Amino acid sequence: MGGNGDYEWQQRRGEVEAPPPKPFYEVVKSTVKETLFPDDPFRQFKNQPLPRKFVLGMQYFVPILDWAPRYTFQSFKADVVAGITIASLAVPQGISYAGLASLPPVIGLYSSFVPPLVYAMLGSSKDLAIGTVAVPSLLMAAMIGQEVNPKQNPTLYVQLVLTATFFAGLFQASLGFLRLGLIVDFLSHATILGFMGGAATVVCLQQLKGILGLVHFTHGTDLVSVMRSIFTQTHQWRWESGVLGCCFLFFLLLTKYFSKKKPAFFWINAMAPLTSVILGSVLVYFTHAEKHGVQVIGHLKKGLNPPSSSELAFGSPYLATAIKTGVVTGIIALAEGIAVGRSFAMFKNYHIDGNKEMIAFGIMNIAGSCTSCYLTTGPFSRTAVNFNAGCKTAVSNIVMATAVMITLLFLTPLFHYTPLVVLSSIIMTAMLGLIDYEAAIHLWKLDKFDFLVCISAYIGVVFGSIQIGLVVALMLSLLRVLLFVARPKTMILGNIPNSITYRSVDQYPKAASVPGILVLHIGAPIYFANASYLRERISRWIDDEEEKRNNMGGVELQYVILDMSAVGNIDTSGITMLDEVKKNLDRRNLKLVLANPGGEVMKKLEKSELMESIGKEWIYLTVAEAVNTCNYILHTCKAKATAMENAASDENV
């Protein structure tokens, strides 16, 4: 096997070079900028005078200053209609979800007043409608309720919920300011799908308490505890409440189905919850059903949000529980809010900044915790109604907050006779939309591992607890990421006939292997986590190839080409692995050839002794160049050997 000398092909081939060296601080600056600022938000500040930079900075951090000067009366008319429409949904939902969080109903109304106003100034989404959501509400009740009973010690419980909301906002804003939104990215679509479906199932089951008119109910969120609590109290079931609940549930589902079939009549579904509250209240008032087992909300305090900054329980022995609850619910609220905002932004072809959204969510929840509000985000149902109602900007949130303010000032006594069974029906209807079995079936067809993550999250929530389901789903998602890193895809490449293209022989059966040459593709960066695996895998590929060629005959293996086009980076363990592969091939009398290593890889190779060991002449721009050079050497050596044999034969003759 020849390996030295000048060859015509080598003279024509392109040289693989490392990028020009940069000062260390430049490398660190570039890495940090690419990691934390991939969208380069500061490009608009370049070459601008100082006063203009100040104005642009204010517009960047307070988006309402950017679009408000261009706001039109036509947009205002559309936003008023949308705001009043979502207000009709916000009032019953706010009361319902407050009950889900074991909070006084009026706190649900408070939470639809201050946070939407803050978001309207700081948020970057035109469509997101701010309010309370079911899953974080249930999480708060489950996590804080384990430490403090909301019925036995309601004051401390409310203080801990407000404290958890404060830390949720602090955590969200910190992620935004530090540009660490990538943490939320670890909540995969499959994780959220299973988690939301499981939480929705648990919420639906818990609403049977209201439907059946039960007074005492379990604080557990698992299926076994809920079903045991329901069926051990059959003697407490109230048929009056059950009939009323089933009627309103049927009405809400019917309006939802009709609006889905006839999108132009979306407002029917949007108005249905408030209509149910009004009808239920009127029915109870005239029939005195509260005296016959139908529970009602009772007195709601009039007036706007009282300040609650002094209520934050920073000195409480349960502070750790409040912090943990705030972080967990904050992540869930962020994931839902940003996902919903991005989904609707795509319909209108505009972009929302994930880090700005985190800052907006964080500040509105910090402000909310100081004004008697609990955790809020951008729920899908309310945002969908806002979008379908034709909203143009975040002013629809201001209109909604104004409508809620009027309700708090003047209309709260009207909710005295609102039956709890109606609120349970509203929650159940909203939750049924979160159990997306069609998406789960799609996951099964598309990716079995994602389906496993989804089902694990669902089972963990339904049969364990919300925390268990979330942890299980996160662990499986992280396991998949680790498997991608630790077990990268490697494959044998072959030549596509009549081309210089090399592709996987498994994917393209017509791709032909090259006699005497084994081409291997490494499909990921080489780190300490996968270096040992890659070393063993490359060795097995070589053993298998040599065994196959020995059995089938043909040209003996002489070159191993590693296609490193997908190897974006390499660490010291990876360099050591390549050195060990090189030594192993030397012992087998094989030559290691590299094709298309990236810039970072070339820098590491040049700084190590491996470049000298391999030889820069054995590093190529493309697989085709490497194969052609190896073929040239093989044919040249074969021609020389043939000539020498012929010369020896002539001498013998």
Q: What is the C-alpha separation between 372 and 107, in angstroms, rounded?
A: 6
Looking at residue 40, what is its pLDDT? Answer: 53
Cα dihedral 239, 244, 246, 252 in deg (nearest 10): -170
Letter string b/e over residues 161-178, b meaning 16 or more CB atoms within 10 A of that residue's CB: bbbbbbbbbbbbbebbee
Extents of the domains making up the chain:
8-22+487-652, 68-188+237-248+286-420
DSSP 188-243: -HHHHHHHHHHHHHHHHHHTHHHHHT-SS--S--SHHHHHHHHHT-GGG--HHHHH
Which parts of the chain have pLDDT scores under 70?
A: 1-19, 21-22, 24-47, 181-187, 219-221, 554, 638, 641-643, 645-653
Looking at residue 364, what is its pLDDT? Answer: 95
Positive or negative CA dihedral for 365, 370, 371, 372? positive
The answer to whether the CB of 259 falls within 8 A of the CB of 269 is yes
Q: What is the C-alpha separation between 108 and 419, in angstroms, rounded?
A: 16
Helical residues (DSSP H) of 418-512, grouped into ranges: 420-432, 437-446, 448-459, 466-486
Looking at residue 43, what is its pLDDT? Answer: 62
End-to-end CA distance of the chain: 28
Q: Does residue 563 sit in helix, strand or coil?
A: strand
Q: Is-above-0.85 flag for pTM? A: no
Spatial neighbors of 144 by CB under 8 A, at least 6 apart, are 157, 160, 161, 164, 318, 321, 322, 325
Nearest to residue 372, comparing CAs of 122, 105, 616?
Answer: 105
Which residues partner with 169 through β-bridges?
none
Nearest to residue 105, comparing CAs of 381, 427, 357?
Answer: 427
Looking at residue 8, what is its pLDDT? Answer: 45
Looking at residue 3, what is its pLDDT? Answer: 42
**CA angle 101-107-110, nearest 5°?**
135
Looking at residue 375, what is its pLDDT? Answer: 95
Structural tokens at position 553: 């005959």
Which superfamily does CATH assign the domain made up of 8-22+487-652 to?
A: STAS domain (3.30.750.24)
Nearest to residue 320, comparing CAs of 136, 173, 148, 115?
Answer: 148
The answer to whether the CB of 221 falls within 8 A of the CB of 202 is yes
Looking at residue 4, what is its pLDDT? Answer: 42
Spatial neighbors of 355 by CB under 8 A, at least 6 apart, are 175, 176, 177, 179, 181
Looking at residue 167, what is its pLDDT? Answer: 96
Nearest to residue 372, comparing CAs of 109, 102, 92, 121?
Answer: 109
Q: What pairing do the DSSP bridges indicate for beta strands 517-522 and 559-563?
A: parallel
Nearest to residue 364, comparing CAs of 540, 123, 134?
Answer: 123
DSSP H/E element including 559: strand 559-563
Q: Which amino acid type is present at position 624?
A: A
Helix then strand then coil, % of the chain, to nearest 5: 65, 5, 25
What is the phi/psi pair of residue 129, to 5°?
-105, 125
